[in-house]
Chain A
Amino acid sequence: MTNFDVCVIGSGAGAGPVAYTLAQQGRAVVVLEKGPWFTEADFYKDELACCRHSVYTPRLKNEQHVIEELGDDGTWLATPTSESGWSFWNGNCVGGSSNFMSGFFHRMKPVDFRLLSEFGPIKGANIVDWPIGYQDLEPYYDRVEKIVGVSGRLEPHRNIEPRSSPDFPYPPTAEHPVSGWIDAACGQLGYHALKVPRAILSQPANGRRSCEYSGYCGSFGCSSGAKGSARAALLDRAVASGHCQVRPHAKVHKLISNAKGRVVAAEYFDRAGQRRRVTAKVFVVACQAIETARLLLASTGPRFPRGLANNHGQVGRNLVFSAGGAGGGDLVYGELSAARAAELRAMGPFVNRALDDWYVIDDPALPGGRAKGGIVEFLFAHPNPIARADGAQRGQTSLVWGKPLKRLLEGRFH
């Protein structure tokens, strides 16, 4: 049993900056990650691995969640995910979900820290302002952009948040021809198309290669190191500093606290199912929202009969979602000029456009005349072909096969 200054549980976007910063300062850091340690050499553009089988996430039959849904009759229906197939895992390996993100890297804006005072209470919700403001976080945003490596170009913009650096540290990633169409259309409509910053290197840096523009980025691991995952951008460098060790296949099931209420050890199961312990002066729990709450609740101790930090019964409550919706349309090749059609077929570069004209919505029809809106991102359909084809075989009343199925598939792809 080794003793560390800091034990970080989880190795994703939350854990990475902590481990990196402390290791750079010479603290002895251990990172415990329940999943395996994949590297650039393990990531391929393989739809079966990324998206159709549990490779980066646990098998639901082994590690399920239970989802409760409100039925039409007002009663709650609980279904284990092992039955529904509806996975709530996002990425369980060194670097966590950040391995599979698309790297859209927006900052929050000052108004997001004052939702109560700006927009008023919402019935049934216990909304509050943050105890800190944007200006308190700004230096950290700035550091993250530099260390993780964010590519973009800052342009004057209606809703722009205050920034201490004049521009992003790396020039924008290559852009798809369609981005120009969006700029032109927005110009005509009086909207302000915004260039989206990406946590993707447009130039090699810190031992990471530049983006290879595969066209398969979100949901896929990155084989070039360009994507600013916590693993590629932070943990690899933390380990290289000599002050950080990462233990994969280390699933923490309990934090042990003493009679004074201090956490003194983390207990985990290793790959062979052996129970192991790590002691440290400080523990950081960064297992993503659901699993962090689960671990705290499971970690009862003499001073925490209802779970760590849960003496007020608030752990696992007040979950804040970044809610989203999607709408879309088709660009029909047959309706485009040959030149435009050729532009549209380009594969690889990013669209990188968004609108934040409705970040705050002022509308007299709204209660209070005002509401918090958000960002509209422009994206192409995900290119995964099996996902695109699957479903063609299910007709209204019977299965579709033979030549009719093949004509449907041609229609879906052309």
Chain B
Amino acid sequence: MLYSTPGVNRHDRRLTEESGPQAWLAEWSGQLQSRRRFLLQLAGGSLAALFPWTGSAAPAPDEAARWRVLDAVQRHLFPSEPKAPGAQEIKALEYLKFILANDPDKTEDRRFILRGAGWLEDMAHRLDRSSFLKPDESGRERVLREIEKSEAGSNWLSTILLYLIEALLADPAYGGNPDGVGWRWLAHIPGFPHPPPGKRYMELRRK
């Protein structure tokens, strides 16, 4: 009940010319965040404990290595196809990096995402005795489905997926969706005018 308004269910919400309280749209990210906070509480406030990480299977990857893992995860979750753009074409990694670096509200997301990448590497080493970067598509699928079984892992994957969808469909000003490639794929007609640098959401907040 907490996330719904009487008489207006999730599906109906799409049917209004105005999007209503913005929380309806931010609903899923709101739930993800609060679920994560809850998990954090259970884990005694430590992100490290959120991921059941033995840390023993392989040396902890540095930040550059974590970004490489994230790149591979994004490409697996959103593969390139001849007629449909994938993570690479929509510049999903650039989008993610831009948002995490420029929105001060996302420091927690940044830590969570990078931490999760390290944890995923550890899981890959335990399951396959190799980095997540090594195995083929079915091997990666197996590792990701394995981490999805834990609540933290599924939360982490949901977060990555949400950023992928944003990279696909947000304005190119944020680093993803170059030349509107995501909009074109889905035959979506964007509105005008587009936000120029200096007028992006994190910049408008300083007004």
A residues bordering B, Cβ < 8 Å?
36-38, 42, 44-55, 57, 59, 69, 71, 79, 81, 83-88, 90, 100-102, 212, 214-220, 223, 323-328, 347, 351, 379-394, 398-399, 401-403, 405-406, 409-410, 412-414
Contacts and interface: CB of A to CB of B under 8 A. Distances in A.
A44 B170 contact: no
B170 A386 contact: yes
Contacts of A101: 18
Contacts of A220: 191
Given A214-B192, A326-B8, A326-B16, A399 B171 contact: no
A167 B18 CA distance: 27
B192 A212 contact: yes
Query: Which bucket holds chain B's interface residue count?
Result: 35 or more
Contacts of B19: 50-51, 218-219, 382, 384, 387
Looking at chain A's contact residues, the main secondary structure is loop
Contact of B169 (A51, A216, A382, A386): A386
A391 B13 CA distance: 13
Contacts of A218: 16-19
Given A214-B191, A406-B78, A85 B186 contact: no
Interface string B158-194: 1001100110111101100000000100111111111
Interface stretch (B26-34, B42-50, B62-70, B121-129): B26-34
A328 B191 contact: no
Interface of B: 1-3, 6-8, 10-23, 25-31, 33-34, 37, 76-79, 81, 84, 103, 105, 141, 144-145, 148, 154, 157-158, 161-162, 165-166, 168-171, 173-174, 183, 186-196, 199-202, 204-205, 207
Contact of A85 (B6, B33, B158, B205): B33
Contacts of B6: 325
Contacts of B173: 46
A85 B23 contact: yes
Contacts of A412: 186
B2 A86 contact: yes
A57 B191 contact: no
